[in-house]
Structure 1
């Protein structure tokens, strides 16, 4: 699967310039833009910065024909092959959008790169060459490679997130004190604008790891969660979302109702939430820091070392949310074994607790929460980017209904 990319170009002031002829890139993932930038360079001889998604051929990610808005570098040569813009597209890119991310606007990436340059100078790290890696509604990511001497040194990563993920820097600061070996090092943060500079984490994303490897991830997160128990309220006070008990119910229900989605399939689950939450609380596990999206792809692995990345979905709440996410994609027997090992750790840490019952009771609520998370994304991002998440809302509502029985 690949993408056929069309770039609508604007200049640094947002003035529309025209449309580049389409070209193919190998990676299907819509939010990954390194090969989009490389393709514009190799096919058309121009440097661009991808700002945002404009349209897609398919209703769900990924692959197919994709259109992006991109800013042409000031140094680019005059392009003869640009075609005129469709009037509807021209209107859409000229129309202000209040939900647009800062990095999705002309000049936005340049402002963030200037901030990064100032911070790296302050840190004594010198100049860098930036290469854009990702651009979508949940983040933009740049790899910053040292300029001198050429090819030496390790990169630094610039990440910028929307307002609803700005607590990620708070979480990373806490992890830097309490579990520095398990989290990326935060070098600098601009909390107001959601910018972060992160030290390089060697290795590879651990997609495809077997159940034994996932159990080591669960053990790492168990250590983090145990350490976080005394800090739960202070993390909330510093902006980490509070999803404890009744606050979880209120947030999930309010978000789904505000989204206007059909809740008839989960009505019985919604009506039983207070009783279910009371039963979960009775299982005796403490509220902890929850990663919120603990799948193997959010773990960097390098020669036995594991680092948990992408903490934007983090919240304070029930620890079982993470093992439920980590067990997705496994066979029933593998999932049972993984949960059993997780439960044994918690019984050792909290004698008298009933972790297995907590997982059983939380399972449909976790799916309901996922539906609310994606509904919240849809509510907070601009219309052209909602295609990334829209299908996830009914999927998880159906899953919650199925699990609730």
Structure 2
């Protein structure tokens, strides 16, 4: 549970603070329940711009203060006493600045016919996500930072091999994608049937795209054991899968050894599922490269995957403004410790 403090601004000007309230969802970047309550209490349309501060260090719970943008000055529900600095920062991302969420929604509306209000679902230093209802189902407008991969480019690469594995791209421009609804639900705790439906298809895409790098490499090597470097999802855990067979969130994509994706996945699934996931992955690569030794590659990839994660988290910290670094503080050090403890 979170206690919410909202510093309300209009056009970048602080106009008051909303009465504190709580929401059941503990996750700081889950802002749909926050704006729903604020819209009701203040009688305006709001968007969360950014995290200002928290009382806990771990992405969830506690007292959380946000800078919130309203489409007009509310005539109720605000405490106007006190002053709060809401100045800019050079690392602030476009959707965290005044007018940023509205610009994302306005761009999306230029590409689909929206049948109802756009809903801000998530926002933090890695993305801003809106759900837009249309006659053909929901569309999803997503903004991402320049230090992450171009999701549209990666989706097109994946779709060139297996269109059903990637979300349908409705529109794109630098830093923004508009996606069709991916069927199903998120697969945080996948069964064997889901693993067997998604992992071999992703391996087939990687096998087809192997060769000259088309994205940057992270610089962490794994002995090849007969397997080629290829496109990596970068965050290939089951929470980024949909039960309908689509894989989401390609912003961490890069080029490297495919066992790094498998190691990331195995680290996320329940302990009783790990052997089954490894078997499916090893069997899939063995079919594409019969003379390879995927199992040995995976043993080396487990500590290496934590080194990759340490690099990624440090990149986040280097490129986000101070108030939002709390999302990732300590993560590089934790990943380095895991790399050391899991070394072959």
TM-score tier after normalising by the smaller chain length: over 0.9
Q: Counterpart of 2:138? A: 155
Residue pair 1:117, 1:127 contacting (<8 A) in 2 also: no
3-state DSSP of counterpart to 2:210: helix
Name 1:213's counterpart in structure 2.
194
Q: Structure 1-normalised TM-score?
A: 0.80
TM-score by length of 2: 0.94
1:326 partnered with 2:265 = yes
Of 282, 287, 303, 1:364 maps to: 303
CA-CA distance at 1:331 after TM superposition: 5.5
> 1:62 Cα shift?
0.4
CA distance 1:136–1:333, change in 2 (3 Å): closer
Aligned match for 2:223, one of 277, 280, 288: 280
**Aligned with 1:343 (options 267, 282, 288):** 282
Is 1:383 matched up with 2:322?
Answer: yes
Runs of 4+ in 1 over 6 A off after TM superposition: none
Gaps of 5+ in 1: 147-151, 250-276
When residues 397 and 85 of structure 1 are mapped into structure 2, their CA distance, relative to the original with a 3 A threshold, is farther
RMSD after superposition: 1.9
Q: Which deviations, in whole Å up to 9, do the C-alpha atoms of 1:134-166 show, x marking residues without a partner?
A: 1100000001113xxxxx431211000000224
CA–CA distance in 2 between the matches of 1:339 and 1:352? Answer: 18
Give yes or no for the alignment of 1:300 onto 2:242: yes
- Give a deviation string over 1:215-273, Cα, whole Å, max 9, x none: 4322121122122125x43xx2xxx2224xxxx14xxxxxxxxxxxxxxxxxxxxxxxx
Please state whether the residue corresponding to 2:183 is helix, strand or coil.
coil
Partner of 2:170: 187
Whether contact under 8 Å (1:168, 1:311) holds in the other structure is yes
Tell me the residue number matched to 2:75.
78
Indicate which of 235, 242, 249 corresponds to 2:217: 242
Q: CA deviation at 1:71?
A: 0.5
Q: Which moved more, 1:169-178 or 1:131-140?
A: 169-178
Number of residue pairs matched? 344
Q: Which residue of 1 aligns with 2:106?
A: 114
Find out whether 1:196 has 2:177 as its counterpart.
yes
Contact map agreement 1:377 1:389 (CA 8 A) in 2: yes
Shift of residue 401 of structure 1?
1.1
**Which residue of 2 is the match for residue 129 of structure 1?**
117
Residue in structure 2 matched with residue 258 of structure 1 by the alignment: none
User: Radius of gyration: which is bigger?
Assistant: 1
For 1:379 and 1:127, the matched residues in 2 are separated by 40
Structure 2: any 5+ residue segments left out of the alignment? none
Q: Which has the higher helix share?
A: 1
Task: Encode CA deviations 1:16-74: one digit per residue, 9 max, x unaligned.
Answer: 11211101111111101100011112334332111000011101110111010001122
1:9 aligned onto 2:8: yes
The separation in 1 between residues aligned to 2:149 and 2:5, in whole angstroms, is 31
Alpha-carbon separation, structure 2, partners of 1:103 and 1:112 = 8
1:316-344 per-position Cα deviation (integer Å, ceiling 9, x unaligned): 11111111111124455632332133112
CA distance in 2: counterparts of 1:109 and 1:126, whole angstroms: 16
What is the CA-CA distance between 1:81 and the residue it aligns to?
3.4
Q: Determine if the alignment matches structure 1 residue 68 to structure 2 residue 66.
A: yes
The separation in 2 between residues aligned to 1:128 and 1:80, in whole angstroms, is: 25
1:29 aligned residue: 27
Give the whole-Å Cα distance in 2 for the aligned partners of 1:139 and 1:386.
14
